[in-house]
Amino acid sequence: MTLSIGTILKRSREKRRLTQDDVSKYIKIPNKYLRAMENDDYTIFSDKVHAKGFLRIYTEFLNLNSEELLALWRREYDKYFDTKKITTLAPQKPVKYPKVYITPSLIFVFVICTAVVGFFGYLFYQYRNYTGAPNMTIYNPKENSVVDNGILDITGVTDLDSEVYINNQKIVLNTDGSFAESLKLKEGLNTISIKAVNKLDKQTEFVKTIIYRPPEKENLTLSETTESTKSMQVGDTAPLDL
């Protein structure tokens, strides 16, 4: 088994019956560095050059083969610090999160912040509604409807501060913003414009396409023909002789 540099130094010193104090007096190296070298502890040195210089002095004082020991020491030194880095990086301290204590002052601040955010949110909502196009929902008619009634009911709701136009004709809104209007259709394709305009002239428009197909005239013609035939048959019948 290969001995470490520290063990070789310590045994060599003890073989000469010298204490660390004795060696320190001769070579003028403080005891703490001698102790560190014998314990293979290189963290006390400022850098590698520092440790190497003290080790050379110590080995030459003990009449050891400096070059051979220094070569062995370099391998030990690099291995020592590589292991040290891994050991240092491996353990990770658990993350400590600060504890939060709920106090009356914290609740007060939370309430104030919530109120401020809510107030400005309300202002933003009102500003957006005021400057944006009006909201409008059409309940009837549905898009691309086919109807057989010549009168079409148009219903919907919009913002209270808006005006509603159906085919450019202004209609009256109810107090809740709803509206209802009846429109006479022409046979075939009808295009209906429903438009809401607010005070800033922002507008929302829906264009509905409605097809009006009145009841089949053929049924009416057939009925008239049947009635006419019956009348003719009655007229041609000879009166009874009494």
Phi, psi of 170 (to 5 degrees): -70, 140
Angle of helix 5-15 versus helix 31-38 axis, rounded to 10 = 120
- 22 occurs within a structural domain: yes
Q: Is residue 96 part of a domain?
A: no
Residue 27, domain CATH: 1.10.260.40
Q: Could you give the CA distance from residue 2 to residue 12 in angstroms, rounded to a whole number?
A: 15
Number of domains in the chain: 2
| Domain-embedded: residue 59 | yes
Nearest alpha-carbon partner for 35 in 49, 50, 45:
45
Residue 238 within a domain: no
Res 74: pLDDT: 84
**Dist CA 78 CA 101 (whole Å):** 50
**Does position 205 have pLDDT exceeding 90, yes or no?**
yes
Q: Which DSSP state fits 46?
A: S
- State yes or no: pLDDT of 242 exceeds 50: no
Over residues 148-157, mean pLDDT: 92
Of these ranges, 17-26, 78-87, 130-139, 218-227, the one predicted with the greatest mean pLDDT is 17-26
| Residue 179 lies in domain | 136-215
Residue 189 corresponds to which amino acid? L
